[in-house]
Amino acid sequence: MGPITVKSRKKPHALLAYEALFRQLLSQYRYHKSIVSEYKREKAGYDGERHVDYKLSTYPRKDFFIFRGLRLANPPFHFQMDTLSLTRRFICILEIKNQQGVFKYDSKQRQLTQEIDGKIISYKDPILQAEAQKSHLREWLAMHGIFNIPIETLVVIAYPSTIIENIHDDPDVYNKIIHRESLHEHLDRLNGKYPDTILTNAKLKNISHALVDENTPLRTNPLELHGVSDKHLIKGIPCPTCYSTPMKRLYRNWKCPACLTLDPKAHERIIFDHFLLHQPTITNKICRSLLQIDSPKTAYAIIKSMNLPGSGNNRGRVYYSPSIDEFPQNSSIPVTFHNPFEKKNLE
Cβ 91 to Zn ion, closest distance in Å?
50
Q: Among 34-42, 56-64, 144-152, 239-247, which window interacts with Zn ion (CB under 5 A)?
A: 239-247
Q: List, as one string, the DSSP characters of 43-99.
A: HHHHHHHHHHHHHHHT---SS-EEEEEEEEEETTEEEEEEEEEE-SS-EEEEEEE--
Taking the least distance from each CB to Zn ion, the nearer of 44 and 247 is: 247
Cα→Cα distances 287→248, 282, 297, Å: 15, 7, 11
Cα 293 to Cα 57, 188, 246, 284, 326, distances in angstroms:
47, 60, 10, 11, 27
User: Would you count residue 239 as binding Zn ion (CB under 5 A)?
Assistant: yes
In angstroms, what is the minimal distance from the CB of 248 to Zn ion? Answer: 11
Contacting residue, 114, 182, 241, 298, with Zn ion by CB under 5 A: 241
Q: Which of 111, 261, 281, 292 binds Zn ion (CB under 5 A)?
A: 261
Strand partners, 248: 255
- Write down the least CB distance from residue 262 to Zn ion, Å: 10
Binding segment toward Zn ion, per CB under 5 A, in 15-23, 39-47, 101-109, 251-259: 251-259
What is the rounded distance in angstroms from the CA atom of residue 134 to the CA atom of residue 126? 12
Shortest Cβ 243–Zn ion spacing (Å): 7
CB of 8 to Zn ion, least distance (A): 33
- Residue 263 touches Zn ion, criterion: CB under 5 A: no
Taking CB under 5 A as the rule, does residue 221 contact Zn ion? no
Where does this chain touch Zn ion (CB under 5 A) — which range of 115-123, 224-232, 248-256, 266-274? 248-256
Q: How far apart are the C-alpha atoms of 264 and 175, rounded to whole Å? A: 54
Residues that bind Zn ion (CB under 5 A): 239, 241-242, 244, 256, 258-259, 261
